[in-house]
Amino acid sequence: MASIPQPAIGKARQELYRRMDKDNLAPLWEVLHNLIPNEPSTPCRPALWKYRDARPYLMEAGKLISAREAIRRVLILENPGMRGESCITQSLYAGLQLILPGEIAPSHRHSQSALRFIVEGAGAYTAVDGERTVMHPGDFIITPSWTWHDHGNPGAEPVVWMDGLDIRIVQTFGAQFHEPFPEEVQPVARSEGASAARFGNNLLPLGATAPFGRTSPIFNYPYARSRESLAKLAQDQDPDPCHGWKMQFLNPLTGGHAMPTIAAFIQLLPKGFSGEPCRSTDGTIFSVVEGAGSALVGAERFELEPRDTFVVPSWAPLRLEARGETVLFSFSDRPCQEALGLWREKRG
């Protein structure tokens, strides 16, 4: 081999690749370092969506297309490093959905799981398998995989929420299913608050089985309760140096994450907080609920106001600062990574 001159080898290799290409074969050694990088390598970039900039587009869309015609009137939050791929991280989709007074978004079900984090307005509802829940800002609401769901706004103001779906994850497995409900609005089968009463009070009806399979039987985690937990936690213990006071939303039937594919968190940062850097393998989407501060993501600095959304790619160092007491909601694919033994966090 040493006797063959370098240019000739280069040419011979290219020639070999060209011939094997038509038989659907390719040389690993040309791509090995990209395939097995030393640490997470992702096209996902840090990004910030100011609500102040996004809202006018959403309201204009509200004039140009109805929720009924659109099925879901959503502006997709597209990661600038993955434009056209309808995703905010490598594994997750996010969007801002608007429903105007008097509108409905027709009923359907799909194998993708969805979460809703209410950003603006109150009085709209979402229905899941026969039960409606009314939305308020800061509520974390789940649409479990393969459950019938529709949204409606009988109230007086526009309601906007952030959607988070595991579209990419389900796509990776080729496990997508979707079905429209025969009617636009599904019938109401239970009283409002039924799921919370059955599963959300540290009680369980005898003989109850999980109504939504691997997903939490509670499908609305109201902000008033999350906020109260954060406030109490803050009274009695010191904040974590990276995360402040941070809690994860639970499935009371398992003690694990509320959703099988997506983890959701709520955290409080005290006024004047200057966090230490931390990185983790789960690219994470944040929605600012209260307060004001900054997120330093890698080399980027994002100034945060309520209702803004930002994304932290896998393994990008994140440092949080809070000028006033600040509350952040966030979600990621952590349950998938934990199930596969992949999740890592590194402080400092």
How big is the CA angle at 330 (ends 162 and 85), to the nearest 5 degrees? 55
Find tokens 């280069």 and name the residue.
10
> Of 93 and 273, which CB lies nearer to ligand GTQ in the complex structure?
93
Could you tell me the smallest distance in angstroms from the CB atom of residue 304 to ligand GTQ? 23
Q: How far apart are alpha carbons 267 and 327 in whole angstroms? A: 6
> Of 72 and 227, which CB lies nearer to ligand GTQ in the complex structure?
72
Residue 114 interacts with ligand GTQ (CB under 6 A)? yes
> What stretch of H or E contains 245?
strand 245-248
Q: How far apart are alpha carbons 319 and 324 in whole angstroms? A: 16
Residue 72 interacts with ligand GTQ (CB under 6 A)? yes
State the number of binding residues for ligand GTQ (CB under 6 A): 9
Can you read off the two tokens belonging to residue 346? Answer: 């590194």
Contacts of ligand GTQ in 155-174 (CB under 6 A):
163, 165
> Of 74 and 297, which CB lies nearer to ligand GTQ in the complex structure?
74
Q: How far is CA 67 from CA 131, 152, 162, 235, 263, in A?
A: 20, 9, 15, 43, 28
Residue 230 interacts with ligand GTQ (CB under 6 A)? no
Q: Which one-letter DSSP state was computed for residue 123?
A: -
> Of 104 and 318, which CB lies nearer to ligand GTQ in the complex structure?
104
> Of 122 and 250, which CB lies nearer to ligand GTQ in the complex structure?
122
Contacts of ligand GTQ in 281-340 (CB under 6 A):
none
As beta bridge partners, residue 165 has 93, 114
Residue 214 interacts with ligand GTQ (CB under 6 A)? no
Q: Which residues bind ligand GTQ (CB under 6 A)?
A: 72, 74, 95, 97, 110, 114, 149, 163, 165
